[in-house]
Amino acid sequence: MSEYFGNIKTGAVTIATGMGITLKHFFNAIHRKGDAGLDDVDYFRQVDGLCTLQYPREVIPTPANARYRLYNKIEDCIGCGQCVRACPISCIEMETIKVAPDDLAVCGKTSDGQQKKFWVPVFDIDVAKCMTCGICTTVCPTECLYHTPVADFSEFDRSNMLYHFGNLTRLEAEAKRRKLAEIQAKALADKEKKAAEAKLEKKDGE
Amino acid sequence: MQELDTAGLGSVRVTRQSDTVVILEKDLATEQMVLAMGPQHPSTHGVLKLECLTDGEVITQAEPYLGYLHRCFEKCCENVDYPAVVPYTDRLDYLAGMNSEFAYAITVEKLLDIEIPRRVEFIRVIVAELNRIASHLVAIGTYGIDLGAFTPFLFCFRDREIILGLLEWASGARMLYNYIWVGGLAYDVPADFLKRVKEFVDYFRPKTVELCELLTKNEIFVKRTLGIGIMPADVAINYGWSGPMLRGSGVKWDLRRNDPYSIYPELDFKVPVPDGKDSVIGDCLSRHLVRAWEMDESLKIIEQCIDKMPSAEGFNSRSAIPKRIRPKAGEVYGRAENPRGELGFYIESDGKSTKPLRCKARSSCFVNLSAMKDLSMGQLIPDLVAIIGSIDIVLGEVDR
Amino acid sequence: MEEGKVISQSLQESAAAYSIIHEKFGSAISALDANETMPFFEVIDTSQWTEIALFMRDHPKLKFNYMACLTGVDYPAEEKLGIICNFESLALFNHKLAVKVKCARDGGSIPSVACVWHTANWHEREAYDMFGMLFTGHPELKRILCPDDWVGYPLRKDYKVQDQYHGIKVPY
Amino acid sequence: MSTTALSQFSIPLLMGNSLNAWSDALAGFYLFGLPLGLVIIAAIPLVFIALYSLTYGVYGERKISAFMQDRLGPMEVGKWGILQTIADILKLLQKEDIVPASADKFLFVVGPGILFVGSFLAFAVLPFSPAFIGASLNVGLFFAIGIVAIEVVGILAAGWGSNNKWSLYGAVRSVAQIVSYEIPAAIALLCGAMMAGTLDMQKINILQSGSYGFAHFFLFHSPIAWLPFLIYFIASLAEVNRAPFDIPEAESELVAGYFTEYTGMKFAVIFLAEYGSMFMVSAIISIVFLGGWNSPLPNLGGVALNDWTNGPVWGALWIISKGFFFIFVQMWLRWTLPRLRVDQLMYLCWKVLTPFAFISFVLTAIWEVYRP
């Protein structure tokens, strides 16, 4: 019998405690949490009160090192293709054309002074596939591939999630390719000619 | 454990006391009905399906069906390099990515036999314990939802949000971190990080008390969980239970203590087990209490780590990372204490390749869930919900 | 340094545990591979596997009451499939042992230990699902993670994914 | 007791004669032999309550729950999201009205209707002010208790007709729950009726008027009146399926209980009925124990607060605000407590509430007979 009344008593007391807590929160609803980021010194002085933000207008700030949208600064890209090999889910697609010797100056250097040896006509990142693991960015030798703190980049059409970073248009790429092919053909021809000459000389020598 | 032959009894409702089965109700048999619970049921915590045979509201048999989230993690691992497995481990137990990474990293390090800088170890422990708190907050909050209390859930998520913010600040991502690498860390923590974590600990302590008052001590909550789904210790061990589930059954077994890794031997923390005063040992309430206590212990661990943290001077978080991870031929089974139990990795290396020959994740939820059939026999549907909630499954880890 | 010592100590204990098993079963099991990371032995006479398992669980000095993990493995070079079980004596002793059991790659079978450790039940189902070895005496050997009508065993090294599954294109 | 109380209370004090006459005239309006006037009178509170349900009920519940959970709640539609519910209703109106192929079509369609009618019929006997009552029955309280039971039929029809196992569970649980809780609820209300000596709602209110305001309320009338008050409040929670007794719809167990299969306007009607019954039980408890439309403010010497704040319009204000207060408490409880299990629910009903209801019944009877 005492257990019976004890149960009723603990039930009433704990329910009252719980209701006290929710009522406290209810009256605390006049306060709102600010939208300072965690790197702010006052972060924990502003967390009391309603804590939701109205998203598109108020945003939780993303820290500077946040890894969200993958971005390639194509001016610095040397087309080494390490990121393509490193990506566990192959979301990066890359095509390179070797720069013709007379174009090296046109192709330019990276910001730390390294000569670029490849044109990169295609550098496509499918950010819909990208899982923001950041492995590609760690292998990148020129640090031109990095994640930006832009977290919201949703699209209505999935094809818009394919980001193109190539530094040549298709026509330019075609021209470069042809030029390279010519140079290579010429070099090959020269080589053959030389070889033939050498053979000839050899014969002559005999 | 005593097996119960239900064939001749018609409908029975049973409960377990230590290792005997006690029949509460019988001879109320009605026509049996197959009830498919899930995979889109609100309280199966994802895409678990339970096919229940019910007699009224009493479940006579429940058969779990898994695999709705199966993505062949192990096959993926065989096709990528050792470091590239880390982002996949995040996706095992997506509520505790840091802990999964930690388990994988120490396993490969065991195979590689490399020394890790001390500061790396401390940071690893801090982020892992923070993530443990975040994970337990989800477990406790969703358990509240399973039992009909919605408000504690949102309080839990409010605080978890801060932890996720902290981890985002450290690692760059909110849930799928890829932060703990084999041999080191992706980055050192930001300058003010430890200070902010300390502030978080101070902020969070009163919140756990409030949560306890609101949910754990609530009489209705206690009545809903006390004595439900009792699992005796020996059966729990035989089922391979681990983590809070096993401790809920009264076995003082914590890999951080019993198979110590990283810097855990240097830290002072308790392994909480229920004493049978507030709850029946092995029931849902015990498991819930263990989780609640563990949050406090994790806070203690974090505080100690911050105090003992070696300075950042001349520290490079990637200094011990091998240029190319190619372990010698051999096999290793490494494990760590995850919020949900023992997450083990069996890794086999052929010594030639930079990809693991075989990488098996021993998922704690998978093992814990395998007792479902036994636990659910003779329970009511609301109790079944309470039991699933107390197992605290993450389907990402169950189905892999 | 200290950590290394702990490991080697547990290795000694594991070796002691192995010798007890070896005493009983002799040539049915192979010699102990006493490496630091995972000491293991192989069951050569697979028909005795269940007895060995029971012995390991119930022997007062062994008490391997906890099966941590059961991994299925494919050995295409040996034309074999196998399982690796990691055991330990939870809260009683300090020894840990792994056991390997192998069977033929096509239609091979391994005795089930689901009756010895409940953990093995689902793990064996998973190994069957992924590798296709049979476990004789298993209470309900059916696929667990893949759908029942899935073709092939995904974790075999020579697995080719099926093109269509109920009209859905499978390869991504 | 009742005669003395009535005699000291004169009708002109109520200041509502013209309105009363108007409603009487309307009630006498017949068209082709149909009591059209009565229908209109019954429809007025119904329309009001429907409006309340749409705006305050759902919106209030969402806001209150949000504030208790440190959230903002609806904020987008209108200032502070005040038009959110209207937007929701517009959405629900446009939704396809799906009737599952294997459902029992008749029951499925008729279920929400019965539920709606059941919860709104009781409004006919609720006195909204001294001058306004839909039907001033001399067994008003009895009618109100009885008519709530019709809801059970609607719930069972909806749950059974859906041909869904979860719905069936919800329906069966609901029937068991509501029928059981009728008993303590009715006995607790009987205590109030005993104190009044009448079952007429309007008379119960009149008996609680007086210049001392709240001191005349039945809750403070006898030392044990708080017990039936509390019992009725708890039982009424169960009768309208509110947390912690929301097991018929228990979203984490039964998905949505008996209305799992409902969409569009039928779903909205079920929702409306729920909020309607919430107000109904709140109004009943404030009528029987808290003076209904009487002002709680006492006359303090020359400051005749009580006299100033009584009258038909004030009365409507008082009863509605009392009702809203109890709705607030219902929501407050809902967002604090976990849900009970079925057997615990029955335990509470049969082993706690019913015995205590009987005890309070006997004690009230003794008090009324041997009152000092």
**Residue A10 scores a pLDDT above 70:** yes
Confidence of residue B136 (pLDDT cuts 50, 70, 90): very high
Measured between CB atoms, does A65 come within 8 Å of chain B?
yes
Strands B12-17, A145-148: pairing kind: unpaired
CB contact under 8 A, A54 and D352: no
Predicted local distance difference test score (pLDDT) of residue A35? 75
Nearest to A38 among B151, B196, B219 (CB): B196
Q: Which residues of A91-125 are buried (b: 16+ CB within 10 A; e: fewer)?
A: bbebbbbebbeebeeebeebeeeeebebbbbbbbb
Measured between CB atoms, does C147 come within 8 Å of chain B?
yes
What span, in angstroms and rounded, lies between the C-alpha atoms of B19 and B232? 6
Q: Which chains have 3 or more CB–CB distances shorter than 8 Å to chain D?
A: A, B
Q: Work out the average pLDDT over C21-40.
A: 80
Q: Which chains have 3 or more CB–CB distances shorter than 8 Å to chain A?
A: B, D
In this predicted structure, which of A120-124, A167-171, C135-139 has the lowest mean pLDDT? Answer: A167-171
Contacts of B144 in chain D (CB under 8 A): 338
Confidence of residue B133 (pLDDT cuts 50, 70, 90): very high
How far is C55 from chain B, CA to nearest CA, in Å? 15
| C115-160 tens-digit pLDDT | 888 888 888 888 888 888 888 888 888 888 888 888 888 888 888 8
Confidence of residue D372 (pLDDT cuts 50, 70, 90): low
Give ∠ CA D132-D136-D138 in degrees, rounded to 5: 150
Radius of gyration of chain B, Cα coordinates, nearest whole angstrom? 22
The terminus-to-terminus CA distance of chain B in angstroms comes to 30
Sorted by sequence, the CB contacts under 8 Å of residue B164 that are 6+ apart come out as B134, B174, B175
Peptide bond into D244 cis (omega under 30): yes
Phi, psi angle pair for B22, to nearest 5°? -110, 130
Predicted local distance difference test score (pLDDT) of residue B137? 92
Which residues span the domain enclosing D228? 97-369
Residue D127 β-bridge partners = D133
**Residue D2 scores a pLDDT above 50:** no
How far is D230 from chain A, CA to nearest CA, in Å? 12
How far is B140 from chain D, CA to nearest CA, in Å? 13
Tell me the ipTM for this assembly. 0.82
Q: Work out the average pLDDT over D256-284.
A: 84
Residue pairs between chains B and D whose CB atoms are closer than 8 Å: 76
Residue D134 in contact with residue D181, Cβ under 8 Å? Answer: no
Residue D167 lies in a domain: yes
Predicted local distance difference test score (pLDDT) of residue D4? 40
Q: In what helix (H) or strand (E) does residue D127 lie, and over which residues does it extend?
A: strand D127-129
Residue D37 lies in a domain: no
CB contact under 8 A, D169 and B57: yes
Residue D369 in contact with residue D198, Cβ under 8 Å? Answer: no
Query: Which tokens go with D251?
Result: 């979203």
Sign of CA pseudo-dihedral D159, D161, D164, D165: positive
Residue D2 lies in a domain: no
Measured between CB atoms, does A23 come within 8 Å of chain B?
no
Q: How many CA atoms lie within 13 A of A134 on its CB side?
A: 21
Sorted by sequence, the CB contacts under 8 Å of residue D153 that are 6+ apart come out as D114, D118
Q: Work out the average pLDDT over A12-27.
A: 88
Q: Are there at least 3 beta-carbon pairs closer than 8 Å between B and C? A: yes
Contacts of B103 in chain C (CB under 8 A): none
Nearest to B219 among A15, A38, A67 (CB): A15
Radius of gyration of chain C, Cα coordinates, nearest whole angstrom? 18
For chain A, the domains span 2-45, 69-168
Nearest to B66 among C123, C144, C154 (CB): C144
Q: Pick the more confident residue, B13 or D244.
A: D244
Pick from A9, A135, A152 the residue to mutate for testing the B interface (most B CBs within 10 Å). A135
Q: What percent of chain B has pLDDT over 70?
A: 92
Instruction: Give residue A136's identity as a one-letter amino acid code.
Output: C
CB contact under 8 A, B239 and C90: no
How far is B2 from chain A, CA to nearest CA, in Å? 31
Residue B145 in contact with residue B220, Cβ under 8 Å? Answer: no
Predicted local distance difference test score (pLDDT) of residue C2? 41
CATH number of A69-168: 3.30.70.3270
Pick from B362, B365, B391 the residue to mutate for testing the C interface (most C CBs within 10 Å). B362
Q: Work out the average pLDDT over D89-100.
A: 84
Contacts of D68 in chain B (CB under 8 A): 151
User: Scanning every residue of chain A, which has its alpha carbon at the shortest distance from the alpha carbon of D332?
Assistant: A19
**Residue B294 scores a pLDDT above 80:** yes
What span, in angstroms and rounded, lies between the C-alpha atoms of D172 and D168? 6
CB contact under 8 A, D68 and A52: no
Most trustworthy range by pLDDT among B21-30, B65-74, D217-226: B65-74
Nearest to D70 among A19, A23, A50 (CB): A50
Helix (H, G, I), strand (E, B) or coil at B32: coil
Q: How far is CA C95 from the centre of its chain?
A: 17
CB contact under 8 A, D336 and B149: yes
Mean of pLDDT over chain D? 79
List all residues of chain B from 277 to 296 with a beta carbon under 8 Å from chain A: none
C-alpha closest to that of C110 among C74, C88, C137:
C137
**Residue B56 scores a pLDDT above 80:** no
Strands C134-136, C109-111: pairing kind: parallel
In this predicted structure, which of A54-68, B2-16, D234-248, D327-341 has the lowest mean pLDDT? Answer: B2-16
C-alpha closest to that of B371 among B13, B12, B6, B16:
B16
User: Scanning every residue of chain D, which has its alpha carbon at the shortest distance from the alpha carbon of B145?
Assistant: D252
Nearest to C90 among B235, B237, B399 (CB): B237
Measured between CB atoms, does A16 come within 8 Å of chain B?
no
Most trustworthy range by pLDDT among B29-33, B222-226, C37-41: B222-226
Predicted local distance difference test score (pLDDT) of residue D15? 41
Contacts of A15 in chain B (CB under 8 A): 218-220
How far is C86 from chain B, CA to nearest CA, in Å? 8
**Residue B4 scores a pLDDT above 60:** no
Confidence of residue D7 (pLDDT cuts 50, 70, 90): very low
**What pTM does this model have?**
0.85
**Residue B311 scores a pLDDT above 60:** yes
The shares of helix, strand and coil residues in chain C, as percent rounded to the nearest 5, are 30, 25, 45
Nearest to B148 among D69, D243, D343 (CB): D243
Domain count, chain D: 1
Rounded alpha-carbon distances, angstroms, from residue B269 to B199, B299, B301: 20, 10, 7
Q: In what helix (H) or strand (E) does residue A69 lie, and over which residues does it extend?
A: strand A69-72
Helix (H, G, I), strand (E, B) or coil at B204: helix
List all residues of chain A from 34 to 93 with a beta carbon under 8 Å from chain D: 49-52, 54
Pick from B346, B352, B353 the residue to mutate for testing the C interface (most C CBs within 10 Å). B346
Residue D227 in contact with residue D158, Cβ under 8 Å? Answer: no
Q: Pick the more confident residue, D254 or A14.
A: A14
Mean of pLDDT over chain B? 84
Residue C125 in contact with residue C142, Cβ under 8 Å? Answer: yes
**Residue B44 scores a pLDDT above 60:** yes
Predicted local distance difference test score (pLDDT) of residue D39? 67
Give ∠ CA D122-D123-D127 in degrees, rounded to 5: 115
**Residue C71 scores a pLDDT above 80:** yes
Q: Pick the more confident residue, B220 or D48.
A: B220
Q: How many CA atoms lie within 13 A of D291 on its CB side?
A: 27
User: Scanning every residue of chain B, which has its alpha carbon at the shortest distance from the alpha carbon of A63?
Assistant: B169
What span, in angstroms and rounded, lies between the C-alpha atoms of B60 and B65? 16
Pick from A5, A13, A14, A92 the residue to mutate for testing the B interface (most B CBs within 10 Å). A14
In this predicted structure, which of A133-137, B11-15, B148-152, B313-317 has the lowest mean pLDDT? Answer: B11-15
Residue B226 in contact with residue B258, Cβ under 8 Å? Answer: no
Query: Which tokens go with B36?
Result: 């498919």
Nearest to B370 among C72, C122, C155 (CB): C122
